[in-house]
Amino acid sequence: MDLLMQHLFNGVVASSVYMLIAVGITLVFGLTRLINFAHGQFLVLAVFVALDLITAGVPFVFAALAAVVAAGVIGWLSERLLFRFTMDNPYNGLIIGLGLLLVLESAAFKIWGGFQVGVPAALDGGAGLGDTYFAWNRVLVLVMAGLVTAGLFVLLARTKLGAQLRAAHENPVAASHVGVNVGRMVTVAFVAGSALAGLGGVFYGTLQPVGAFDGAHLILKGFAVALLGGLGNVSGLAKASVLYGIGETLVAGYGRAEYVPFFTYGVIIVVLLVRPGGLFEKHPPSDSTFARSSRGVAHVRRHSRVETLLGGAAFVLLPIVIFEAVGTSRLQSLVLLSVLYAIQVYALAYVYETTGVLSIAQGGLMAVGAYSAGVIAVHLGLGFWWALLVAVPLTVVAGALLGLVVSRCTGHYLLLVTLAFSALVTQVTLTAIDLTNGDNGLILPESLPVIGSITFTDLRSQFYLVLLVALLAAFGLRRFKPTRFGRQLAGVRENESLARSIGLRVGRAKVGAFALSGAVSAVGGVLYLYTQTVIVPTSFDTIFSIKIVIILILGGISLAGPLVASMVFVLLPELLRLDPVDQQFLFGVLLIMIILLLPHGLVPALITGYSTLRSRLIRTGHPAAAADSGRPAAGGADVRSPSDLVREEIS
């Protein structure tokens, strides 16, 4: 009983910190419908700032205040310089948040190193009640967090600023008509939410240490609480934080600390599956899907037959030319790795193109395929074909289950559930040591099988095999578009509500799309295992899933884009001699710049620019441009329907 009391006390203290983090998330979301994935890293930075100041001799109170101010300033800068430009498209804001998370994590590592650190406790000692020990520092954290939360509720309910924030949350258009500066309220929400994250970071740092790369893990805890309470519902967060904090502590106390991530990710997935609006949500969640809007897109003309043939030839020959041109086996192995990445990008692009869901679960699906094959090969001693035969169905089932959960979610919840899935699979590979060998990974005892007279023991033969699979994936997935299943997915992608109203089974269509994507991911995962010969959990972690998203955004949804972008993504850091942390910083900056400057991807931007140039030449009567354009040099109105234009956009 005393042990239970100790766990309950520790759980309530932890819940008070999670409350501060979740309130910051929901303040921003309530006004902008934006989820800032970098929010957890603000907490980490506050820990480092407070520790540096306390180490320099600054009293705890002033160090904590400075850390809160620093977090608020970072939030203000992120809103003014980045998120302000994405308010009309929360999808872009989500992606920028991912990029900012990568940048801040790598910057924190460069400045403070990779060791986990904590904030010295403000108070020492404590009091005992039976066998239950109440540390004064934990009591202080509980009291201070409670006072701050109560003060926030008073501010929202009793002050003019709170009334303006609530008005901007309920109806920003009406609020602006009665004189509320909605833009200023958004800035206030960002600053207040970030400052609360900073305060939560200082308190959290006194309870347990954090490292430079803990931001993603901490933000998932905040999301779990926010989802339980209902995103945008501040009043539900108090109950949700207590439930989550006590539950997490009981799992760690009566189980193992390694099981806590399962609890976190399980809460996210189960809540989204059973009650997507949260346990205490007052209003139903939005039924909008985060998909790129077709508004403002420069729809390009159809390419001529000559252009299509030339583009296809370039698509096939470019990786071959690059592979044969590079002079070292190191660079050739990276070209091979880039094609392996491209297979995953094609699988992700298919899901995004057909359902409008930008999944951050590709690493998880690839891990299911690779580790399934690894277990078959290493533990059972079976060959490649048996490994492939087992890996593909298992990954298809995993993809279908993910699609089932996704089909229950809408809007801002979609990215959360895919992110939780990816993190959950990574945690399984870390903890199922008897099967996966944990951090040490699996080492494959054999190579790819002999097919006829062809052996795949050298880089060149492996490269051409993987390239063939990538081409089959790219062209094969596109062949599903004219089928009945493909047309159903196109209807879901263009207008989910309309598709549902005419009798299409939207949920089944999404499950099918994720299952098909899982099959492609499984093949890519098995090839990754047999060409790299070693797999470890970090090979497929959340950062890897984000990398696949970056490549998709860089290359856009096109036939050649993912392959070209994968080679740029993999080869550029090597040519620049960047270490892994610098690579992460570069990836984050690229992600932010692409969303702000080239929101439809680099390759589509080049194609659009080429088409625009040709159109101008055709309008001026340039004979070379009009030669194979398929229409006269001038005139020729475009009579395609909006539906056709949307289909062309995602082609």
**For 421-439, what is each residue's pLDDT tens digit?**
888 999 999 998 989 998 8
Residue 299: pLDDT over 90 = no
- Kindly indicate the confidence band of residue 203, based on its pLDDT and cuts at 50, 70 and 90: very high
Q: How far apart are CA 144 and CA 151, in angstroms?
A: 10
163 and 58 part of one domain = yes
User: Do 522 and 399 reside in the same domain of the chain?
Assistant: yes
Examine residue 163 and state whether it is found in any structural domain, yes or no: yes
**Would you say residue 264 lies in a domain?**
no
Tell which of 215, 244, 277 closes a domain: 215
| Pairwise CA distance, residues 210 & 118, whole Å | 6
- Do the domain assignments include residue 41? yes
Quick: pLDDT tens for 522-559. Answer: 999 999 999 998 999 988 988 899 889 888 888 877 77
Radius of gyration for the chain, computed over Cα atoms and rounded to the nearest angstrom: 26
612 and 468 part of one domain: no
What pLDDT, on a 0 to 100 scale, did the predictor assign at position 314? 65
Phi-psi region of 621 (alpha: psi -120 to 50; beta: other; left: phi over 0): left
**pLDDT, mean of residues 179-183:** 86
The one-letter code for the residue type at 48 is F
Weakest mean pLDDT among 220-224, 387-391, 509-513, 615-619: 615-619
pLDDT value at residue 506: 73
Q: Is residue 203 part of a domain?
A: yes
Task: Judge whether 437 and 292 are in contact, CB under 8 Å.
Answer: no
Is 135's pLDDT higher than 60? Answer: yes
pLDDT classification of 625: cutoffs 50, 70, 90: low
Higher pLDDT, 159 or 502: 159
Number of helical (H) and strand (E) elements in the chain, helices listed first? 27, 4
Residues 344 and 204 occupy one common structural domain: no
Specify whether 507 is located in the same domain as 623: no
pLDDT of residue 640: 40
524 and 638 co-located in one domain: no
Residue span of the structural domain in which 633 resides: 607-649
More confident residue, 348 or 480: 348
For the ranges 66-80, 137-151, 183-197, 247-261, which has the lowest average pLDDT? 247-261
Strand partners, 128: 133
SS3 134: strand
- Do 494 and 614 fall within a single domain? no
Query: At what angle are helices 160-170 and 182-207 packed, to 10 degrees?
Result: 110
Instruction: Pick the last residue of a domain from 522, 557, 576.
Output: 576
Nearest Cα to 592, choosing from 37, 27, 88?
37
Q: Is residue 283 part of a domain?
A: no
**What is the reported pLDDT for 651?**
39
pLDDT in tens, 269-292: 887 777 766 666 655 554 444 444
- The amino acid at 452: G
- Give me the mean pLDDT over the 389-418 stretch: 86
Size of the chain in residues: 651
Helix (H, G, I), strand (E, B) or coil at 66: helix
Do residues 531 and 611 share a domain? no
Is 474 contained in some domain?
yes
- Going by pLDDT thresholds of 50, 70 and 90, the confidence category of residue 89 is confident
Q: Would residue 299 count as lying in a domain?
A: no
How far apart, in whole angstroms, are the C-alpha atoms of residue 225 and residue 264? Answer: 9
Of 194, 215, 236, the domain-final residue? 215
CA neighbor of 16 nearest in space, from 185, 188, 190, 206: 206
For the cut 50, the answer to whether the pLDDT of residue 302 exceeds it is no
The pLDDT tens digits for 331-345 are 899 999 999 999 999
Distance from C-alpha of 60 to C-alpha of 47, rounded to nearest angstrom: 12
Dist. CA 540–CA 553, nearest whole Å: 19
Taking the C-alpha atoms of residue 618 and residue 625, their distance in angstroms, rounded to an integer, is 6
The three-state secondary structure class of 312 is: helix
* Beta-bridge partner residues of 516: none
CA distance 476 to 463: 19
Q: Is residue 245 part of a domain?
A: no
Domain count, the chain: 3
> Is residue 454 pLDDT above 70, yes or no?
yes
Q: What kind and span of H or E run contains 299?
A: none
Burial status of residue 538 (CB atoms within 10 A of its CB: 0-12, 13-18, 19 or more): middle
623 and 484 assigned to the same domain:
no
Question: How far is C-alpha 491 from the geometric centre of its chain's CA atoms?
Answer: 25
Asked if residue 56 has pLDDT above 80, the reply is yes
Same domain, 568 and 421: yes
Residues 24 and 158 in one domain: yes
Confidence at residue 523, expressed as pLDDT on a 0 to 100 scale? 95
Per-residue tokens: 315: 């698509």
Alpha-carbon distance of 592 to 99, in angstroms, equals 6
Q: Do 632 and 515 have their domain in common? A: no
pLDDT at 164 over 80: yes
177-201 average pLDDT score: 90
Q: What is the average pLDDT across 621-644?
A: 46
How far is Cα of residue 46 from the mean position of the Cα atoms in its chain? 23
- Cα 357 to Cα 347, 416, 492, 568, distances in angstroms: 12, 11, 11, 25
Phi/psi region, residue 533 (left: phi>0; alpha: psi -120 to 50; beta: rest), is left
